């Protein structure tokens, strides 16, 4: 390459990685169409069945390896892939296509997977988008075994940055182990299985960068910035040294900050809790000094289920999380099993209502193990929230466990659509607490397409700041707890403005907790409040960010520069 190539994607796993590239899947598979003679159908079916058997064995081996290294929780990611190896819609339909259309297995499989994926890809829900990726991953596994391909293991001990179109979870289990130190993928989102596993293994990752430059070659030096979501291919010697310094200092920084406090320069204590989606993240939250779990994303519970897990299955997970965190609070966010977080209580059918009641019952029963709260996402009207509260009380009256019936369970709501912020004063009369989700609030306020994984609605936009200010003001006037749990709280620059607006409870990804505490200790709230007031009068997100950096640089500049944030 003649000069560095710079790619922008989604920061899926924080940290900095430096190393030679290892490019996999460079050649796109070209599928050939082949007619099968009547007498060859049975042998083609046998070839497909053998590929299914080998693919299943590979995934089972990956599941066993994952269980041995990280426990059974993460292994559930692979269960859905094993289930799909026996799914009639995929496996039986492919066999029927071979038999009835008299085509080769590769062509039949590709047509079936495309047919199954299409309606899922057309849905706006990120959940269904991920289910489409599941189908594609299983199809990829089967095609690989039909062609007799093998994923080669890394043959070097040198730290390597893996570059791929995407990784199936089974591939991620093997390939995100040492010597892999960084990951870059063309596809993916922050909630994808690949991103989850990268965070699990502590591998800095940038996903969703789009088509990769063809110039990238094996052994080309690559820098992965898991903070900014940026990748540099072929950096200068100076850039490489700077990245290596950031990498080493950040590792040391995280270790040193695990036991520090979150008290501002003017002596105000800020509550820092963790955003969690996996039960096994609880230990990391405790080790990093989180004061509780401010957002437990229950979506992970459905990864290995075609339908929601049973009440007892959910209860087992929730109890484990609550008891491990006790006496610190765990806030569970409900999940709409249709695949969209949107709560439309009056529109729930009998089936969806039963699923939601199953989850509420499990949370009620788990509340006896420690401090628990429940919140509903994407609430848009007061009527919706009142109906949701009524459903909780209905569950409480029906549950057989006396402790669950009498348990104190605060009921809150996510403020993540404009109407919720605009009606915050009214919601404050009904809710026990607010949790502001800045990601969705910014996207809906600024009309960004959530299906575009690389879109960048910015919470520092003055329009969004106005809504954030309205939400915290209503909560403060009603003496209602109000936390911020979106990406704004995890941004060391934007966090300062959130504190200036009045937010005193912050919930961030587990690995960010030490960094957030370090930022808080360098903030003077009086100065931050003045910056926030001026920020509300700015004309753009860039102007707001420049204002924060300029006014708070004296105390925070060194920290920002150390992490490569400014």
What is the DSSP code (8-state) at residue 148? T
Active-site residue, 70 included = no
* 3-class SS letters over 109-166: HHHHHHHHHHHHHCCCCHHHHHHHHHHHHHHHHHHHHHCCCCCCCCCCCCCEEEEECC
Closest CA to 90 of 20, 143, 148, 24: 143
Distance, in Å, from the CA atom of 354 to the CA atom of 365, rounded to the nearest integer, reads 16
Q: Considering 85, 145, 193, 443, which one is annotated as catalytic?
A: 193
Phi, psi angle pair for 540, to nearest 5°: -155, 165
Token code pair at residue 194: 């690949």
Give the C-alpha distances (Å, rounded to integers) separating 530 from 277, 369, 396, 527.
35, 43, 45, 5
Question: Is 555 labeled as catalytic in the residue annotation?
Answer: no
Q: Which of 302, 395, 485, 538 is catalytic?
A: 485
Tokens of residue 387, six digits: 């109906």
Per-residue exposure over 93-115, b if at least 16 CB sit within 10 Å of its own CB, e if not: bbbebbeeebbbbbbbbbbbbee
**Could you write out the DSSP letters of every residue in 166-196?**
---HHHHHHHTSTTEEEEEESS--TTSHHHH
Which among 486, 344, 348 has a CA at the least distance from the CA of 415? Answer: 486
How far apart CA 255 and CA 244 sit, in angstroms, is: 17
* Residues catalogued as catalytic: 193, 485
């Amino acid at each position: 390459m003649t000069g560095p190539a710079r790619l922008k994607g989604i920061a899926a796993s924080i940290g900095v990685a430096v190393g030679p590239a290892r490019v996999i899947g460079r050649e796109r598979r070209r599928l050939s169409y082949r007619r099968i003679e009547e007498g060859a159908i049975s042998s083609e079916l046998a070839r497909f069945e053998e590929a299914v058997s080998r693919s299943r064995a590979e995934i089972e081996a990956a599941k066993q390896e994952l269980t041995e290294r990280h426990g059974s929780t993460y292994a559930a990611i692979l269960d859905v892939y094993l289930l799909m190896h026996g799914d009639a819609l995929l496996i039986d339909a492919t066999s029927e296509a071979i038999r009835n259309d008299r085509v080769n297995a590769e062509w039949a499989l590709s047509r079936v997977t495309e047919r199954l994926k299409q309606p899922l890809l057309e849905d706006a829900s990120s959940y269904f988008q991920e289910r489409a990726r599941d189908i594609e991953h299983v199809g990829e596994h089967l095609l690989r075994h039909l062609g007799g391909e093998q994923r080669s293991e890394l043959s070097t001990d040198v730290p390597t940055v893996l570059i791929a179109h995407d990784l199936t979870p089974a591939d991620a289990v093997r390939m995100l182990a040492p010597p892999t130190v960084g990951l870059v993928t063309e596809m993916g989102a922050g909630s994808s299985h690949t991103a989850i596993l990268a965070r699990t293994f502590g591998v800095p990752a940038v996903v969703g960068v789009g088509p990769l430059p063809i110039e990238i070659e094996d052994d080309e030096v690559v820098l992965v910035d898991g903070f900014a979501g940026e990748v540099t291919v072929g950096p200068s010697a100076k850039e490489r040294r700077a990245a290596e310094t950031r990498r080493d200092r950040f590792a040391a920084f995280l270790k040193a900050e695990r036991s520090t406090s979150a008290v501002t320069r003017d002596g105000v204590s800020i509550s820092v809790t963790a955003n969690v989606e996996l039960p096994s993240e609880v230990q990391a939250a405790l080790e990093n000094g989180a004061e509780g779990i401010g957002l437990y994303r229950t979506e992970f519970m459905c990864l290995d289920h075609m339908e929601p897990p049973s009440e007892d299955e959910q209860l087992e997970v929730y109890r484990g999380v609550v008891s491990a965190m006790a006496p610190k609070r765990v806030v569970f966010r409900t999940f709409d099993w249709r695949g969209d977080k949107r709560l439309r209580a009056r529109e729930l059918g009998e089936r969806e209502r039963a699923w939601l009641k199953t989850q509420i019952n499990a949370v009620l029963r788990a509340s006896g193990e420690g401090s628990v709260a429940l919140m509903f996402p994407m609430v848009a009207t007061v009527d919706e929230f009142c109906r949701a509260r009524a459903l909780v009380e209905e569950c409480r009256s029906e549950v057989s466990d006396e402790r669950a019936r009498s348990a104190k369970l605060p009921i809150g709501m996510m403020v993540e659509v404009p109407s919720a912020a605009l009606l915050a004063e009214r919601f404050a009369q009904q809710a026990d607490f607010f949790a502001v989700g800045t990601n969705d609030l910014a996207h809906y306020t600024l009309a960004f397409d959530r299906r575009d994984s690389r879109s960048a609605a910015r919470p520092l936009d003055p329009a969004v700041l106005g809504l954030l200010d309205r939400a915290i003001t209503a909560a403060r006037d009603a003496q209602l707890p109000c936390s911020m749990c979106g990406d704004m709280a995890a941004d060391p620059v934007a966090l300062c403005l959130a504190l200036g607006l009045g937010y005193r409870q912050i919930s961030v990804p587990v690995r960010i907790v030490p960094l957030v505490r370090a930022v808080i200790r360098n903030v003077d709230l009086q100065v931050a409040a003045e910056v926030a007031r001026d920020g509300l009068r700015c004309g753009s997100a860039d102007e707001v960010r420049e204002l924060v950096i300029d006014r708070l640089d004296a105390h925070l500049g060194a920290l920002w520069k150390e992490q490569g944030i400014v």
